[in-house]
Structure 1
Amino acid sequence: MNDRKAALKILLDIYENKAYANIALSKYFKNNSLEDTDRRFITQLVYGTVKSGDTLLWILRQYIKMPVSKVHPVIRTILRMGIYQLIYMDKVPVSAACNESVKLAKKYGHAGTVKFVNAVMRSIDRDRSRCDFAKAGNSTSYTALKYWHPEWLVNLFAAEFGMKQTEALCSFNNQDAPLSLRCNTLKTTAEQLMEYLAAKGTICERSHLCADAVICTKHPSLASMDFLENGMAIVQDESSMLVAHVMAPMPTDLIIDVCSAPGGKTTHIAALMKNKGRVIANDIHEHKLKLIEDNARRLGLDNIEIHVEDACNIGALYSKTADKVLADVPCSGFGVLRRKVDARWNKTKDEIEKLPQTQYKILESAAEAVKTGGIIVYSTCTILKRENGDVVNKFLAEHKDFKLESIDKFLPDRLRGRGDMLQLLPHIDKTDGFFIARMRRIV
């Protein structure tokens, strides 16, 4: 199977079966042996086509008379792929983008659809003036199309950050994210991990945000390296590694992670405790618990207990028993859009508006489990004030037995002095967007 045919198969799984892009891609690679060059091309084509989403459909609308919804799903996906190659993949020759799209139409369509695909692709190549996003109208529509975001999301960002910052944010979201690894300090050091990676042909550097993190800008297929399976490291965003350090876990602590899966922060906390103490890893989704188990096993951690429970019940189950509690709550994920290529298109405005209520309930329940003098850390991987500072401030206003603590002493110098709550913004901090607040029970 050639690369474009493989990409088409994966994209159809995503579009027609609602598969997650990363899972669909990983499943294909797991079942098919490919050279690194083929894997990279397929990944770029799949992720780029998914990420550019409605922009590709808007371009297609400028060149056809029928509604896009009336185009057969397979042919529509072939055209999406073809347009992405034609407009956005500079290293793909125009002839290849057009001819390979026609070949796919011949395999999956009929004579009429072959002519249709050929006509559309040639028309776009001859006259790209119809692709001018300025035709869309206002600045919000233009920004949404140019930077591949839903218009409602651009409006949401603009209301929070202003249009200039929104453009910078959306542009950053389209960059390729480097591979971020957390060194397992129970088995190796960051320096030893970097030496191992370099020997495997990886270009990497130490993180400026977290001493445990190694950032890989170029690397072979992860499947070709054994450092994940042997527990030398785990894939984790460097900004999310700050959470465990802000918690400052001690080997004698009882710590509860109320929304634990897939276990990155849980295992980081457990490792900082030197594999001592007691960490309760809780999640409502039973099918995700194996992810925590597998990560703990690979990293050599046995101080983690795994439980299935609704986070909103944690307070009642563990009332005032924990030294520290982590409430890394479900969120919109708008701080990690460059890593999750389909997330911007899978969210809805209504869904986002309901999140703060759920987040507050979880925080309130989680706080009930903290003993007097203990700590609760609230964190998200989003950048919206309504999910972050607003939730924490509401909680503090209604729970006078807790007070906000400065987290400066737990942070690298470059992040200090921003106030008691930390908000990382992707386009400013050049990393994943993340929010962290630390509170202490005083009564």
Structure 2
Amino acid sequence: MNTQNRRPNMRLHRNLCFAVIDGLHLVFNEGEYADKVIQQLLKRDKRWGSRDRGFVAETVYTIVRYQRLYAEIANVKAPYHRDDLWRIFAVWATLKGIKLPDWKYFTDTPSRKIKGRFDELSKIRKYKESIPDWIDELGVKELGEAEWTKEIAMQNEQADVILRVNTLKTNKADLQLKLQSEDIETEFLPNHPSALKLKERANVFVTQAFKDGWFEVQDASSQLVADYLDVKPGMKVVDVCAGAGGKTLHLASLMENKGQLIAMDIYESKLRKLKVRARRNGVHNIEMKVIDSTKPIKKLHGKADRLLIDAPCSGLGVLRRNPDAKWKLQPEFIENIKKTQQEVLEQYSKMVKSGGKMVYATCSVLPSENQEQVQKFLTTETGQEFTLVKDKKILAYKSGFDGFYMALLEKK
């Protein structure tokens, strides 16, 4: 954490601080998801301006991100009482150089001791980057000390807001101008043909450009996945872990709305969200199928020109976006998810026809979920029909964007 961005002249407002404390209680003690909690909090008071809402969102996210470090300095243990949460909040404020008001919650905050403890603990990676021991050990084992140290530090930086232009409706230059007219400044990103990066964070969902379906919010690394699949208009393409469809919509625009795009997922609720997004994007070549048995998969055996497997994973490449995930993850989850990844590769790859291609992708940085899974698959009976064309490992500290992996395989 950088204490460089100190804001000593900032005044704390009681109702905003209460909102932060309530939010932390929900995330830490009730196990709720940080992004959902923040959405609720931001609706709390109609009179809050964008700076107030920004304060609540950023403060909750920062404290969630550095929970272990702050709790250690505050000398409190989970589950946290309200007094404990105020002590954690006081640590955050002190390190930011904010003068604490004389509220009862702050009566005996030991400011000097806090700074001393911060300097001490910052020498130990698992405190400095605020991660559970087991994740730290796993990262070192898989990436090596030097690489892991840089990667986990980057995973604590706030992620940029990246847009993907919807080429079915517009182009990058026009989108840039349209957003400019709504006071949002963006810049192009080299090597990311459809991406615009916001120069400053803003709520892009209220813009006319968004309502008109000119763009989606999608990280730059994630945007490379659909490109990797090498789709052409008129093909039969299957996205088998479509979720709410960020990559599906990208595929649709690369296919110019021509051909057949089948979006599949085990969760019907996610596909319903995709339906809404597809309508806004002006996409009409998507067919949605819930995977509620093996039937929908078997029906497509040997039929797909292209298959995208955006596999379920640990999400260790996207902690910048989901900082609470590191507290929710359990070691056994990682073991189970690797089995799932093998099963998904084994079962779904049968949909690819001869000469067809598939991409296996994850938002993890662990080789055991990535290249090792692909190598393992290639030795199985099903996998022997495929060859690895190329793969790409994206680490956040090198790219500045999310950690990702993608492998392109071709069926002989």
Matching of residue 244 in structure 1 with residue 226 in structure 2: yes
Q: Alpha-carbon deviation of 1:132?
A: 4.3
Q: Residues of 1 paired with 2:16 and 2:320: CA distance?
A: 23
Q: Residues of 2 paired with 1:70 and 1:193: CA distance?
A: 47
Matching of residue 196 in structure 1 with residue 201 in structure 2: no
Code of the residue aligned with 1:403 in structure 2: it is T
Aligned match of 1:13: 26
Q: Secondary structure of the residue that 1:281 maps to in structure 2?
A: strand
Code of the residue aligned with 2:361 in structure 1: it is S
Q: Percent identity?
A: 30
Q: Secondary structure of the residue that 1:439 maps to in structure 2?
A: strand
**1:266/1:272 Cα in 2 relative to 1: closer, same or farther (>3 Å)?**
same
Deviates more, 1:261-270 or 1:216-225: 216-225
2:146 is aligned, of 151, 164, 187, to 164
Does the Cα contact within 8 Å between 1:133 and 1:145 map onto a contact in 2? no
Aligned match of 2:5: none
Aligned match of 1:435: 405
Code of the residue aligned with 1:133 in structure 2: it is E
TM-score w.r.t. the length of structure 2 is 0.90
Q: Alpha-carbon deviation of 1:126?
A: 5.1
**1:312/1:337 Cα in 2 relative to 1: closer, same or farther (>3 Å)?**
farther
Q: Alpha-carbon deviation of 1:307?
A: 1.3
Q: Residues of 2 paired with 1:369 and 1:41: CA distance?
A: 48
Aligned match of 2:63: 49
Q: Residues of 2 paired with 1:147 and 1:433: CA distance?
A: 17
Matching of residue 265 in structure 1 with residue 247 in structure 2: yes
Does the Cα contact within 8 Å between 1:258 and 1:314 map onto a contact in 2? no
Q: Residues of 1 paired with 2:150 and 2:113: CA distance?
A: 31
Aligned match of 2:307: 325
Q: Residues of 2 paired with 1:321 and 1:17: CA distance?
A: 45
Q: Alpha-carbon deviation of 1:195?
A: 1.3
Q: Alpha-carbon deviation of 1:188?
A: 0.9
Does the Cα contact within 8 Å between 1:201 and 1:220 map onto a contact in 2? no
Q: Alpha-carbon deviation of 1:69?
A: 4.5
2:391 is aligned, of 421, 425, 428, to 421
Deviates more, 1:383-392 or 1:202-211: 202-211
Matching of residue 284 in structure 1 with residue 284 in structure 2: no
Aligned match of 2:6: none
Code of the residue aligned with 2:115 in structure 1: it is R
Matching of residue 256 in structure 1 with residue 238 in structure 2: yes
Q: Residues 290-316 of structure 1: CA distance to partner in whole angstroms, max 9, x if unpaired?
A: 221121111011111111115976542
How many residue pairs match? The answer is: 396
Q: Secondary structure of the residue that 2:84 maps to in structure 1?
A: helix
What is the 5 A alignment of 1:99-178? Answer: 99=102, 102=104, 105=105, 118-119=107-108, 121=109, 123-125=110-112, 128-134=115-121, 142-178=124-160
Q: Residues 55-79 of structure 1: CA distance to partner in whole angstroms, max 9, x if unpaired?
A: 1111122xxxxx635762x222222
Code of the residue aligned with 1:68 in structure 2: it is K
Does the Cα contact within 8 Å between 1:152 and 1:349 map onto a contact in 2? yes
**1:315/1:441 Cα in 2 relative to 1: closer, same or farther (>3 Å)?**
farther
Q: Residues of 1 paired with 2:274 and 2:312: CA distance?
A: 17
Q: Alpha-carbon deviation of 1:322?
A: 1.0
What is the 5 A alignment of 1:86-97? Answer: 86-87=94-95, 89-90=96-97, 93-96=98-101
Does the Cα contact within 8 Å between 1:244 and 1:268 map onto a contact in 2? yes
Q: Alpha-carbon deviation of 1:223?
A: 4.5
Deviates more, 1:16-25 or 1:363-372: 16-25
What is the 5 A alignment of 1:357-376? Answer: 357-376=339-358
TM-score w.r.t. the length of structure 1 is 0.84
Q: Residues 355-382 of structure 1: CA distance to partner in whole angstroms, max 9, x if unpaired?
A: 2110011011111011111111100011
Q: Secondary structure of the residue that 1:68 maps to in structure 2?
A: coil
Q: Residues of 2 paired with 1:278 and 1:70: CA distance?
A: 50
Aligned match of 1:110: none
Aligned match of 2:9: none
Q: Secondary structure of the residue that 1:269 maps to in structure 2?
A: helix
Q: Residues of 1 paired with 2:149 and 2:274: CA distance?
A: 37
**1:388/1:3 Cα in 2 relative to 1: closer, same or farther (>3 Å)?**
same
Code of the residue aligned with 1:428 in structure 2: it is K
Structure number with greater CO (CA < 8 Å, separation at least 6) is: 2
**1:285/1:70 Cα in 2 relative to 1: closer, same or farther (>3 Å)?**
closer
Q: Alpha-carbon deviation of 1:238?
A: 1.0
Aligned-pair Cα RMSD in Å: 2.1
Q: Residues of 2 paired with 1:20 and 1:178: CA distance?
A: 20
Q: Alpha-carbon deviation of 1:127?
A: 5.8
Q: Residues of 1 paired with 2:329 and 2:80: CA distance?
A: 24
Aligned match of 1:402: 386
Q: Alpha-carbon deviation of 1:10?
A: 2.0
Deviates more, 1:367-376 or 1:161-170: 161-170
Deviates more, 1:308-317 or 1:146-155: 308-317
**1:310/1:329 Cα in 2 relative to 1: closer, same or farther (>3 Å)?**
farther
Q: Secondary structure of the residue that 2:174 maps to in structure 1?
A: helix
- Give the unaligned 5+ runs of structure 1: 62-66, 106-116, 406-419
Matching of residue 234 in structure 1 with residue 216 in structure 2: yes
Q: Residues of 2 paired with 1:351 and 1:310: CA distance?
A: 22
Aligned match of 1:387: 369
